[in-house]
Structure 1
């Protein structure tokens, strides 16, 4: 069995409502085991039986498409997810380069499906005020530490919210990711 984590983009905001119980039921109907949702923001941990492919990239890509198609059909939206194995997510969390417990700061990980968009965001981050936003590149992600007092008004938050990045990125608090691994 391979343990996976699915991070849904854009649910329970902007008119797309996906209740955790319904999300869990869909994943169970798709034949996944040990399904659990974390918070109401589209986070699902589950297990998938394997025929020796244990997290194989090709198998993961097919699984990702299958989940997105099922989500779209059930909830009526163009679904996009980040799909990681539990081991991949653990590496992302372990590599967080900032003090995740720093008082007054939010620890985030920005995931993306478009490497060029992540590179653009990383390049733009060199001009940020480090009193508000700290950004570092990771393996296929951007690590972001955001001063709580600035929050969504920070320069990097406004940049990531631009229409060009919204379809290809999703952001999670490090604490949420840790709950998915627990």
Structure 2
């Protein structure tokens, strides 16, 4: 049995509103009895005997069936979340900048986003692996930052989800407390 973090894309923004209790209930009904949610931005920790790819498929089907939208999630093993947090060279708390990590289960899309960001003058980013890209945005200006505008394009938006580093630290901590049996 493995511990996993599941990151839902695009909920509680843009018209797809899901209460975390309803999300937890739907996932538990789909067989993830210990599914727990963190914050209101679609972060789930759970254990499963399934591998990551099967957890992804099962979660996406559950979300489509329960909430009626074209669900897309990134699933990472709990240990991988811890590795990404440790590998991030940027601070979790800084008054001038915010640290984000964009996650994707489509390495090709993340490769394109990585290249687009690298072409921006003065933009700071670091590839953390095939599924993750860390980047900095000015405090108070995340949505207006050039990289944020690029990553919001349909080409990238449909295959990525972004969390701030503080959220990933909370997910790491919650996932590490899950005790696979």
TM-score, normalization by structure 2: 0.89
Which position in structure 1 is the counterpart of 2:81? 89
Whether contact under 8 Å (2:8, 2:42) holds in the other structure is yes
Alignment partners' CA distance in 2, 1:150 and 1:66: 36
Which position in structure 2 is the counterpart of 1:56? none
Asked if residue 157 in structure 1 is aligned to residue 148 in structure 2, the reply is yes
Report matched runs for 1:101-180 at 5 Å. Answer: 101-130=93-122, 133-140=123-130, 141-180=132-171
Alignment partners' CA distance in 1, 2:10 and 2:93: 27
Unaligned runs of 5+ in 2: 174-181
Alignment partners' CA distance in 1, 2:19 and 2:93: 30
Deviates more, 1:73-82 or 1:21-30: 21-30
Alignment partners' CA distance in 2, 1:36 and 1:163: 30
Tell me the number of residue pairs that the alignment of Structure 1 and Structure 2 aligns: 172
Partner deviation per Cα, 1:145-167 (whole Å, 9 max, x = no partner): 11113211111010001111111
Alignment partners' CA distance in 2, 1:117 and 1:47: 28
Which position in structure 1 is the counterpart of 2:52? 60
Which position in structure 1 is the counterpart of 2:179? none
- Aligned-pair CA distance for 1:66: 1.1
The 4+ residue runs of structure 1 with deviation greater than 3 A are none
Unaligned runs of 5+ in 1: 54-58
Which position in structure 2 is the counterpart of 1:46? 46
- Aligned-pair CA distance for 1:125: 2.0
Secondary structure at the aligned position of 1:175 is classed as helix
Whether contact under 8 Å (2:4, 2:52) holds in the other structure is no
- Aligned-pair CA distance for 1:101: 2.7
Alignment partners' CA distance in 1, 2:40 and 2:71: 16
Secondary structure at the aligned position of 1:153 is classed as coil
Whether contact under 8 Å (2:2, 2:47) holds in the other structure is yes
Partner deviation per Cα, 1:70-110 (whole Å, 9 max, x = no partner): 11000000111001111011111111022333322111100
C-alpha RMSD over aligned residues: 1.5
Alignment partners' CA distance in 2, 1:159 and 1:175: 22
